[in-house]
Amino acid sequence: MGLKINLVLLIFFTTLIICLFIIKQPNLNFYQPSNPFLLFSKKNNIETNLNKNFKEKLGQNLVVGIPNKIIDEKTEAILRYIKPAGIVLYARNYQSNLQFKELISQLQKISQEESGTCYFIMIDEEPNGATRLKLFQNVFYFNFPDWRTIEQGVEVLSKLGINVLLAPLADFPFNNDSFIKKRIPFDNYEDLISFNRTFINLLKKYNISATLKHFPGLGVFTKDPHDELPILSVQRDMFNQSLMIFKDGINNGADFVMTGHAIYENIDSKNLATFSSKIIKEILGRQLNFNGIIISDDLSEMILDIKGIDPAERGIKALKAGHNLIMYSHNLEKTKNIFDTIYINLNTDQELQSIIENNYQKIINFKKSSTCPNSKPNFTTKEDLM
């Protein structure tokens, strides 16, 4: 009988000791929180915030186009979702200076609310070349630039709120049959260098960033990349002269360089310049010592559609080749899908993550130091808009 009592007491005290030990050790594996769902929710919130942060950084690697002259609900929703670095505007977005100024003001309001910074507001307006607003038509007389008229056009761009001009061209037509010859009003590349130097400094006077294009120079090609992929083995002396045009523009303050959709067979036979790290990182970055913003030409259409390269893949290849900004000018709804696809790849691609992070920092720092303080349209009277 005494033995049974002792056994019961032993079991009781042993159980008591184990219970006390459990109470004092809340971090054991079998500890259960009082509200396990709350703990799970907090963990997911942290993960969601991290993902959201990376999505915003990805957005600052994109420039997009918008479809209309006004910002409808669908357009605004997509812009707030992607949070792009910039907007490229076209003739389809323009009705009048007053309407254009209001459109740009609304765009900048969205950008400030979503990312705390401004948009790059970009447009193609080349003296004697591609135009959206017809500001620089007939500004050359016997190959001499009318600087007074050109400056008036630059001032209008500044007042409208354009802070990045996709000009000047650095594509000297070394080939007399070059498709781009009609856009270059000079007979020798020294005159083009001189014009670009003055034009870049004029843009800087009005707080607009210049964009040299299309690196490393499309002037040797007869085929227009809007229609057919240009492929050519470029003579070394012509190639070096083309680089000189870009180098002088860079030395004189061009903030942006845009690459071109063409294959230079003797430089990189496998890749378009758009996807060539040799052309972008080695030649533009190291050889020409360009530390500004490298932007792709439009990736949403052009010859890349004919080549059958997936739109999201184009963006990833362009980023890995060395671009800081990738441009999708057309079909904003498709651009949202492209953005989502790149983001999905981003989750498992550490190289791409590093590129997105570095580009984000570069773009934000550039905006804070130069673009954003001058991002607001500044027409003061209705007469200024006429």
Q: pLDDT tens digits, residue range 195-213?
A: 999 999 999 999 999 999 9
Q: Is residue 316 very low, low, confident or very high in pLDDT (cuts 50, 70, 90)? A: very high
Give the contacts of 254 (CB within 8 A, at least 6 positions apart): 200, 209, 210, 211, 212, 292
Residue 340 confidence (pLDDT) above 60 = yes
| Pair of tokens at residue 139 | 């500004």
Give me the pLDDT at residue 381, please.
47
Q: Is residue 307 very low, low, confident or very high in pLDDT (cuts 50, 70, 90)? A: low
Please report, in angstroms and rounded to a whole number, the separation of the first and last CA atoms in the chain: 112
Name the residue with higher pLDDT: 151 or 176: 151
Give me the pLDDT at residue 375, please.
63
| 333 part of a folded domain | yes
Q: Report DSSP state, residue 49.
A: H
The position carrying tokens 């972008």 is 280
Query: Which H or E run includes 210?
Result: strand 209-215
Give me the pLDDT at residue 4, please.
47
Give me the pLDDT at residue 304, please.
62
| 12 part of a folded domain | no
| 10 part of a folded domain | no
CATH code at position 255: 3.20.20.300
d(CA 180, CA 187): 13
Residue 347 confidence (pLDDT) above 90 = no
Give me the pLDDT at residue 221, please.
92
Q: Average pLDDT of 160-186?
A: 94
Least confident of 223-232, 256-265, 267-276: 223-232
| 25 part of a folded domain | no
Domain limits at 155? 69-385
If we measure between CA atoms, which residue out of 328, 364, 337, 380 comes closest to residue 120?
364
Q: Average pLDDT of 129-158?
A: 92
The strand pairing partners of 209, in sequence order, are 164
Number of domains in the chain: 1
If we measure between CA atoms, which residue out of 265, 182, 168 comes closest to residue 211?
168
Q: What dihedral angle (degrees, nearest 10) is formed by the CA atoms of 72, 74, 77, 79?
A: -80
Decide: 239 and 250 in contact? Cβ < 8 Å: no
Give me the pLDDT at residue 41, please.
32
Name the residue with higher pLDDT: 90 or 375: 90
- Give the model confidence (pLDDT) of 9-67 as tens digits: 455 555 555 444 444 444 333 223 333 322 223 333 433 444 667 899 999 999 999 99
Q: Is residue 120 very low, low, confident or very high in pLDDT (cuts 50, 70, 90)? A: very high
Give me the pLDDT at residue 28, please.
31
The position carrying tokens 């792709």 is 296
| 30 part of a folded domain | no
Q: Average pLDDT of 348-356?
A: 95
Between CA 254 and CA 259, with CA 258 as vertex, the angle to 5 degrees is 135
| 234 part of a folded domain | yes
| 368 part of a folded domain | yes
pTM: 0.84
| 27 part of a folded domain | no
Give me the pLDDT at residue 376, please.
63
Q: Average pLDDT of 140-144?
A: 84
